Structure 1
Amino acid sequence: MTYVGVRDFEKEISALSLDYAKLIAQKEKLEAQLLALITENEACRAAAADGKQQTARNKELTEETVNRYNSWNDLEMASRMDKAKLLQRIETFFQEKKELAEIQTKIKWEKDNLLKSLKKSTMQLEVLTESVKNIQTVYDKVRARYAVTPKYDTTLGARKDKLTDLVRTLQQDISEEAKRTASEQVHVNQAVMLTERRLGFLEHLRAESMELLRLATGLTDDLAKSVCEFNSSWKKYSRLSEDCKQKMALIQNQTETLKALEVDFYDSKSITGIFMCCLPHLYVTVWIVVLHHWSPS
């Protein structure tokens, strides 16, 4: 019975040693898991810090993009106002161009009429000049005849006076026609110069309108590009926010797991400490019992 009791104690000691070894192995495993979790937690914290920094940068970028978008809204309103003004100016330009085309047509018609009148007056002037030449020839002939005519012929003096009046009248008509032709020529030249000035002004307005239209088109393209950039930045910010939320949730879960493992580790450590404290007393008790049973009675 005594030997059986000793063997039971030895078995119990062996079982306790195995349990102790298992607890040591479990402790080392828990320590390794704890270190792994601490490392992973540090990595997650670093990733969370990077995510926070990236989120802050994305927030700043988003705010900047929103500000740019608001400024582009203002620019869009200004561009629309400029475009409306430009369209109004283009409409006014086409209206003025139409009116100037009508004026130009009228001036051209007047110029043609004046040129016809000038040509007609020139022809009349040539006819009158030819008539004056003929009359002058007749006058010279009559004068020569009058020089050899007897003094008592009174009809020749009357005819001479009549021819002189006729020549004077023709010269006055020729002078007035020349003045009227010169005045009409000056009027035609002024009308042509005015038309050329108006056409130059219209070309300048047309070039300015095309430049304003090009600027409005460029502003519209820049606005569309900025809207696309804002949408892309907003999508990127939303995606990064979702990633940050997922990482924060993962960090929270790992923190809870780490706390649970720390509790298990401290529990196992306390059990191991209690066992280590009781183990010497257990060995002493076993040896006392063995010595008591094996000592001579």
Structure 2
Amino acid sequence: MRLAVTGREGQVAAGLIEAARGRNDVEVVAVGRPVLDLARSDTVFPALEVARPDIVVSAAAYTAVDQAEDEKELAFAINAAGAGKVAEAAAKLGVPVIHLSTDYVFDGTKDGAYIETDATAPLGVYGASKLAGEQAVAAANPHHLILRTAWVYSPSGKNFIKTMLRLAGDRDEITVVADQWGNPTSALDIADAILHAAAKLGGDKNFAAFGIYHFAGNGETNWSGFARHILDTSRAFGGPHAHVRDIAAAQYPTKAKRPPNSRLSSAKFAGVFAWRAPEWRSSAATVVARLVRDRRGSSLPLRGAAKDLLPKPVPSDTTTVKDSLQR
């Protein structure tokens, strides 16, 4: 099976390439700028046609949440029109599309985890553009899986874990928002989820459960709790550490408003595709271990091994987070 993923340098694209490495049953081809540029719709179909995919993974996006407030036209061109063109190209090629979306389609006022049928109400341009993208994808290709995820991090790209490690190397204390909640999600786990879904699509020609799914890390926390776990793990591996001080989102004003509750229920995905993400602390520890050991020039631990190397347990009452520094 051959997967074409949009966005050469994205966290999910990198995760898919890593997940497929050494496997004989799947090949991942990353297609990105300048060959495929979502802001230039005429590039999309030719680039994907050359890739000859069995499934298209639509992962490329405009993700600068605050900047989107000033670049609404560009955000919608990429996240809405561009996503629609990717799905349309997949339909022309006769293949399904797996499209990545976001928790930011919700306003965060629900008491509890969001499910797929909950009403959407984005708070800013980024969320609105991603919601428009979902609608464009669904309209362009009936064979679509839309995966909403949240708080994505990985060993590559810009993300919250990398930000915390960088800041801990420069200061003794970091202030982190404590009144926004969600599910930290490893791009490596997203890649595994996509491969499970792709295998199901490839093996079941009568698959009919297309539509919207939520997929996020197992368990919840807030940004400050996420930060504490990151830095405690880093210290366990000899990396940088700093004290985390809780603050309210109101004390860290941003141009775009963030949802206070980004929790997503992944029950539907688990039921249909028989796969659930690992507990978020384990996945986060694995990524932190890799990053710290990369810095120290040591050999990297195997995925999943980091949880066995850490002091146990991390008390749940210290696990309080949300992203005010990096989407």
Would the TM-score normalized by the shorter structure come out above 0.5? Answer: no
Larger radius of gyration: 1
Greater strand share, 1 or 2? 2
Larger RCO, structure (CA 8 Å, separation 6 or more): 1
